[in-house]
């Protein structure tokens, strides 16, 4: 019976530290505490080009994560991308808030930046953000730069 008790103790310790490790992974390594799926409201935004934006990408305002990208679909009527944002309930934004697709660092992941406007009415569930700015596509930027250079070169020849 003594052996039995020691054995139970060890198994209890094992299970406890195993669950403790899971809890550590969930709370310290993962982001279970910082963001809960409950208490969000959905806002849509149309973009000409979303670049490399992915589902679950962060939505930031003033650098603080205020929500996540919930869904990205292609709008077949306007030929634009419709991005659904899940914003946390405790963060309210004015109706005329603008959304930009930004990149963290030169090669980092893309996220949505929200800049608050001055309207007194707040965004509600199902609203649409009207002012948007698409992702910067590096190829377009380079070709623009090259065309400008070429145009300058022509001027010099004349």
Q: Where are the beta strands (DSSP E) in the chain?
A: 40-47, 58-61, 64-75, 80-88, 98-103, 110-115, 127-129, 131-133
Binding to another protein by residue 30, rule CB under 8 A? yes
The SS3 call for residue 84 is strand
Among 1, 29, 151, 157, binds another protein (CB under 8 A): 29
In the complex, the smallest distance separating the C-beta of residue 46 from another protein, rounded to whole angstroms, is 20
Among 5, 21, 62, 131, binds another protein (CB under 8 A): 21
CA gyration radius for the chain?
Answer: 24
> For residues 134 and 28, what is the distance between their CA atoms, to the nearest angstrom?
34
Q: How many residues does the chain have?
A: 158
Q: Where does this chain touch another protein (CB under 8 A) — which range of 14-22, 84-92, 126-134, 148-156?
A: 14-22
Chain residues binding another protein by CB under 8 A are: 4, 7-8, 10-11, 13-15, 17-19, 21-22, 24-26, 28-32, 34, 54-56, 58, 65, 105, 107
């Amino acid at each position: 019976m003594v052996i039995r008790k020691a054995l139970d103790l060890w198994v209890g310790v094992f299970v406890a530290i195993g669950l403790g490790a899971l809890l550590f992974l969930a709370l310290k390594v993962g982001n279970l505490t910082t963001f809960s799926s409950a208490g969000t409201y959905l806002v849509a935004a149309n973009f000409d080009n979303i670049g490399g934006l992915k589902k679950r990408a962060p939505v930031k305002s003033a650098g603080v994560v205020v929500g996540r990208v919930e869904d990205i679909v292609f709008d077949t009527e306007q030929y634009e991308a419709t991005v659904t944002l899940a914003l946390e309930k405790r963060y309210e934004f004015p109706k005329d808030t603008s959304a930009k697709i930004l990149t963290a660092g030169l090669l980092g992941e893309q996220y949505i930046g929200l800049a608050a406007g001055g309207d007194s009415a707040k965004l509600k569930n199902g609203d649409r953000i009207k002012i948007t700015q698409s992702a910067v596509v590096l190829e377009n930027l380079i070709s623009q730069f090259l065309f400008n250079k070429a145009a300058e070169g022509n001027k010099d020849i004349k």
